[in-house]
Each structure stands twice: as C-alpha cells, then as structure tokens.
Amino acid sequence: MVGTTEVEGIEALVRRLRLYQPPPSPYDGASTTAAGGGGELFRPRRAAVLVCLFRRGGGDGELRVILTKRSSSLSTHSGEVALPGGKAEEGDADDAATALREAKEEIGLDPSLVTVVASLEHFLSKHLLVVVPIVGILSDIEAFKPVLNVDEVDDIFDVPLEMFLKDENRTSEEREKMGQTFTIHYFNYEKENQKYLIWGLTARILIHAASVVYQRPPDFPERRVHFNLPKF
C-alpha cells in the first residue's frame, strides 16, 4: 500500500496500475433481456473520460489530475467542472481512443504524451451514458501546452488527486433516483483566487480513481449504487 508519506515513482505507478482489473460492468450486454423476463433493456450510449495524472515539480511531487470547466454556452452541464472526455464515435478503436481523442479536441493534449495504464469501473450518468474512466499518466507535464477549444471549455486547472479521499473541503447530500438512495459529494477547490466546485459524476469518478491509485477507501462514507437500466 502506498501511504501519504511514501512517494511512488511514476514508472512503478504505471506498472502497478497496468495490473488493475476493474469489476465486470453492470451495463455491458445492456440490450439483453432483463432479469425476470421483464423485457429488453434500453441500450445506452458509451462515453469515456480521461483521468490524466502527473506529478508537479518532478518525480517526488504530489499526484495531480487535470480538470476542465465546461463552457457556459453548452446545452448540458454548462459551466460545470469535468474530466476531459465525451461520447464514443464510430472511428474510435476503444474507450482509451475515445478519451484521448476528446482530450485532444477539448484541451489540445497530444495523445503521444499520455501513457494509458488502466480502465476503471463503469459509471452511469444521469443522461444514461455508460461512462468509462481511463487512467493516463502524463510523465512530462512541461511538454503539455494547453490549447482550449473555447466552444467546449472555459478553463483548465489541476487538483491533488488525494483530495478526493479526504474529508476536507467536502460536503454531501442524500438523493434518491430509480428507487435507490445515494450520496452526492461536493468538493471545493480554490486556486489563484478562482473557486471551483467538483461534484456529481465527476466527483464519484475521482473518488473511485483515487481509491484505486492510493489503494485505500475515502475517509468518509461513499454510499455508491449501481442504477438499473430502464426498459424500452
């Protein structure tokens, strides 16, 4: 286990995360018949997001993750904090290709700078997208020169990944959806007089990513659920 006082080198992190095997997705085979013979399930679209990690200030710096603030002119999730990513397209070879393509389109991140190391557990968005988090390592942060797509992104910033395991600058609320009660987490982050709120699906993905990377659960109750897909 890697604790907060022990710094794991990037190469060792890459080797370890490449061995990670996510649990089976509850949303694969979504077009098969529902349990109990209740009919065929809705087939959700697929999307992928890039959890792009790097160490600021060299190999012994803290692990940080790149985030964006979505454009205020977008029709969905406008002005919200998000991971780079989006819906799969026909030409994408796999989920990693989707995440890397979207990151290049949104923030100008050259895919050749990113080492893809893991695919994480799948999530279902409120718009019924199956979202696949892809973990990538950016070994040379100085080589990344952001170019924002102003139609999609207003801002780019980075935060410590470990903050999503700490019960600091965090609030939460209970909600109910599809007959299940779950927790929505809100993380506040401030940088250079800019305030950011990281919440919802993005927060859920980052809690899970941090748990996998640091090999420990968060310091707070997570209360995750898997939502059942609707029927046609």
Examine residue 194 and state whether it is found in any structural domain, yes or no.
no
For residue range 165-191, list pLDDT tens digits in order.
999 999 999 988 777 788 999 999 998
Examine residue 232 and state whether it is found in any structural domain, yes or no.
no
Examine residue 55 and state whether it is found in any structural domain, yes or no.
yes
**pLDDT above 90 for 164:** yes
The whole domain housing 58 covers 8-18+43-167+201-212
Q: How buried is residue 120: exposed, middle or buried, by Cβ count under 10 Å (0-12/13-18/19+)?
A: buried
Cβ partners under 8 Å of residue 161, min gap 6 = 53, 62, 63, 64, 65, 206, 209, 210, 213, 214
Provide the domain count of the chain: 1
Cα angle vertex 57, ends 55, 58, to 5°? Answer: 65
pLDDT value, residue 176: 82
Examine residue 163 and state whether it is found in any structural domain, yes or no.
yes
CATH of residue 60: 3.90.79.10
**pLDDT above 50 for 85:** yes
Examine residue 30 and state whether it is found in any structural domain, yes or no.
no
**pLDDT above 50 for 76:** yes
Higher pLDDT, 205 or 33: 205
- Enter the pTM of the model: 0.88
Residue 172: which of 180, 164, 182, 184 has the closest Cα?
Answer: 184
Examine residue 29 and state whether it is found in any structural domain, yes or no.
no
For range 65-75, the mean pLDDT:
84
pLDDT-based confidence at 18, cuts 50/70/90? very high
Examine residue 53 and state whether it is found in any structural domain, yes or no.
yes
Examine residue 172 and state whether it is found in any structural domain, yes or no.
no
